[in-house]
Amino acid sequence: MPGTQDQVYARWRNEPERFWAEAADSVHWYRRWNRVLDASRPPYYRWFSGGVVNTCYNALDRHVASGRGDQPALIYDSPVTQTITCFTYRALLEQVSRFAGVLKGQGVGKGDRVIIYMPMVPEAAVAMLACARIGAIHSVVFGGFASHELAARISHAAPKVIVSASCGIEGNRVVPYKLLLDKAIELAAAKPSRCIMLQRPQERASLVPGRDADWSELMAGAQPAECVPVEATDPLYILYTSGTTGMPKGVVRDNGGHLVALTWSMKYIFGVEPGEVYWAASDLGWVVGHSYILYGPLFNGNTTILYEGKPVGTPDPGAFWRVISQHGVRVQFTAPTAIRAIKRDDPGGEHVRRYDLSRFRTLFLAGERCDSDTLGWAEQRLGVPVIDHWWQTETGWPIAANCLGLGMLPVKPGSCARAVPGYDVRVLGPDGSEVPAGQTGSIVIKLPLPPGCLPTLWNNDAGFVQSYLSAYPGYYLTADAGYKDADGYLWVMSRTDDIINVAGHRLSTGAMEEVLASHPDVAECAVVGVADALKGEIPLGFIVLKAGVRHAPEAVAHDLVAMVRERIGPVACFKTATVVPRLPKTRSGKVLRGTIKKIADGIEYRVPPTIDDPVILDEITAALATLGYPHR
């Protein structure tokens, strides 16, 4: 599929079904599809209907059969346990086949759900692939999630089996999982018939007789299971979106479209060749972990890294560069938050210079908006292209990117470049019409969504339509706001609820954050709109300073207010920037702007189950109190 990104995009626009049929030729099918796109029941579009595949076969078996059996498939690198273990494709296939036999022995079959509640250990990846091998549907819940949140997912997915571990490790802290799991099962409306527990040496868990079984004991007596062919349109997994209330939103991913889209993306978006080492520094509990720690790299015949650690503190800000150097990583994918944390602790890049990064080729950033300063810092320190791209849990793979495998487009810091082939991205105003270039609006995708995107929500077709398709009929609502420039580059500025209305002016908090982040003393920042009796809303800035900053916090805050006034204008009404020790974030690195806003506005809020450290909310509350918030 040669050509530039623009040429390939035009080819897709002209013949979309032929485009995806050609892409599908690169994967193994037990039976080819009847229709590339089944549009018989809009808006529930299905890809490769009639086709029969197996996701695990494409991830493991076919590579062993083609001679890659001795190539490393997965490297487990755990600085928190001081462990590095390498699994070849053949060794990983043996483990997965055996655990698939374990699941079969517990009565798990095609279409049954299995919840996986585990830390970043190889067994979590083995469990996911084993489910795919026998046609079961896995639902990974981030390890350490609170009991009531886990219970909601158990009730909704109704798993036959739960796979868990005795504990996880967060920095220097051991987090016991078993107490959380037991409480969740007690609260859940649906009860699993069996829990399979991996006992970690850091803390062993007591097992419930008759319900709980030991991973190692079951593996010792298991017979390997072969792949079960499934329909391309059968579900592969359910992934619950973070922060849901009421009925959980279970994003469904099917087997066929997911397989085709991720395989295509590894070569043409990330520019990775089979045999190369690729590392997505994320967690298996998030969509990045599903798509680009596990499935995408293995579909493409890469070596993938499973990292149980942090960007800083395990043991220092050079943690990422050590992994890249030691394992010969060619391409890394991480969140801008990780780079900002490293930049905060090592602004001069001394730790970068300690390692040989000569084999490192490209850094991809996604998961939240990447400010120009962070991107520029990474480019300067690493000496490689840094590519900002944009996608969502619901899409499963990038919507807009600078496609490395199709030749580099010119980089515009702050933009995620252009739409990827498969996505017809539009920017609409409140009346549903497209807005002119440079004007901010709601970013939407014209239906049908490409292969790999969610076909619906688990057991909730009506919720799928209501959440994503009702605002602009014929379009998928991303809930992100931004604009296209005259060159067709997409600028994703904020969530639509981060567009604030200041005295009738619609302003993007993301644009203000871009200004704040450009200050040399600022490590990271967040801007939220808070209620104001006169203007409706006004922006507040929260600033985390870099390590070793010599200027007084008050002086930096004064500079920032002046910078926003100069670059955006008095219309922004940006008058307050306050320095805080850290920002509240989810474990995946997203700043909890909505929670900050509720604290400032005096609105009751629930501590998000995905928060990295709840104590940070007390720090934010104290900082807001010194500013007189909430107003009474």
With cut-offs at 50, 70 and 90, classify the pLDDT of residue 565: confident
Whether pLDDT at 206 is above 90: yes
**For residue 419, what is the enclosing H or E element?**
strand 418-419
Cα distances from 566 to residues 39, 86, 260, 562, in angstroms, run 51, 53, 48, 6
Question: Between these two residues, 604 and 53, which has the higher pLDDT value?
Answer: 53
Whether the CB-CB separation of 279 and 307 falls below 8 Å is answered with yes
With cut-offs at 50, 70 and 90, classify the pLDDT of residue 573: confident
Whether pLDDT at 312 is above 90: yes
Q: What is the pLDDT of residue 506?
A: 61
Quote the tokens at residue 265: 């993306």
Spatial separation of the C-alpha atoms in residues 125 and 118, rounded to whole Å: 10
What average pLDDT does the chain have?
93
**For residue 386, what is the enclosing H or E element?**
strand 386-388
275-294: average pLDDT = 96
Spatial separation of the C-alpha atoms in residues 417 and 400, rounded to whole Å: 6
Q: What is the pLDDT of residue 4?
A: 94
Lowest-confidence pick of 186-200, 242-256, 463-477: 242-256
Whether the CB-CB separation of 76 and 196 falls below 8 Å is answered with no
Q: Is the dihedral of CA 13, 18, 20, 23 positive or negative?
A: negative
Quote the tokens at residue 99: 């655990």
Quote the tokens at residue 373: 């300063």
342: helix, strand or coil:
helix
| C-alpha of 316 from chain center | 24
Spatial separation of the C-alpha atoms in residues 113 and 116, rounded to whole Å: 10
Lowest-confidence pick of 141-145, 221-225, 325-329, 546-550: 141-145
Backbone angles phi, psi at 336, to 5 degrees: -55, -35
Backbone conformation region of residue 253, classed left if phi is above 0, alpha if psi is from -120 to 50, else beta? beta
Question: Could you tell me which of 533, 529, 552, 532 has the C-alpha nearest to residue 542?
Answer: 529
Whether the CB-CB separation of 474 and 491 falls below 8 Å is answered with no
Whether the CB-CB separation of 436 and 24 falls below 8 Å is answered with no
Residue ranges of domains in the chain: 5-309+389-482, 503-626
Report the DSSP pairing between strands 277-280 and 329-334: parallel
Q: What is the pLDDT of residue 242?
A: 54
Cα distances from 391 to residues 108, 209, 366, 452, in angstroms, run 33, 44, 8, 12
Partners of 490 in the β-ladder: 484
Amino acid identity for residue 261 in this structure: A
Cα distances from 72 to residues 89, 90, 465, 550, 551, in angstroms, run 6, 9, 42, 47, 49
Q: What angle do CA 142, 147, 153 make, to 5 degrees?
A: 60
Residue pLDDT, tens place only, 406-443 = 998 999 998 999 999 999 999 999 899 999 999 999 99
3-state secondary structure 228-263: CCEECCCEEEEEECCCCCCCCCEEEEEHHHHHHHHH
| C-alpha of 59 from chain center | 20
Whether pLDDT at 607 is above 90: no
Report the DSSP pairing between strands 475-484 and 441-446: antiparallel
Partners of 586 in the β-ladder: 611
26-52: average pLDDT = 97
Quote the tokens at residue 180: 């959380």
Residue pLDDT, tens place only, 151-203 = 999 999 999 999 999 999 987 889 899 999 999 999 999 999 999 999 999 99
Whether pLDDT at 520 is above 80: yes
Whether pLDDT at 632 is above 60: no
Residue pLDDT, tens place only, 329-377 = 999 999 988 998 899 899 999 999 999 999 999 999 998 778 888 899 9
Residue pLDDT, tens place only, 371-395 = 888 899 999 999 999 999 999 999 9
Question: Between these two residues, 610 and 244, which has the higher pLDDT value?
Answer: 610
Whether pLDDT at 245 is above 50: no
Partners of 537 in the β-ladder: 531
Question: Could you tell me which of 141, 582, 127, 615 has the C-alpha nearest to residue 340?
Answer: 582
Whether pLDDT at 534 is above 90: no
Q: Is the dihedral of CA 487, 488, 489, 492 positive or negative?
A: positive
Q: What is the pLDDT of residue 107?
A: 97
Greatest Cα pair distance, the chain, in angstroms, is: 71
- Helices 16-24 + 255-268 axis angle, to 10: 90
The verdict on domain 503-626 having CATH code 3.30.300.30 is yes
Q: What angle do CA 237, 234, 281 make, to 5 degrees?
A: 30
Architecture of domain 5-309+389-482: 3-Layer(aba) Sandwich (3.40)
Spatial separation of the C-alpha atoms in residues 241 and 248, rounded to whole Å: 8
Q: What is the pLDDT of residue 497?
A: 65
Whether the CB-CB separation of 592 and 607 falls below 8 Å is answered with no
Percent of the chain predicted with pLDDT > 70: 97
With cut-offs at 50, 70 and 90, classify the pLDDT of residue 243: very low
Q: What is the pLDDT of residue 244?
A: 37
Percent of the chain predicted with pLDDT > 90: 77
With cut-offs at 50, 70 and 90, classify the pLDDT of residue 149: confident
| C-alpha of 416 from chain center | 16
Q: What is the pLDDT of residue 104?
A: 98
| C-alpha of 431 from chain center | 31
Whether pLDDT at 240 is above 60: yes
Spatial separation of the C-alpha atoms in residues 84 and 73, rounded to whole Å: 14
Question: Between these two residues, 525 and 245, which has the higher pLDDT value?
Answer: 525
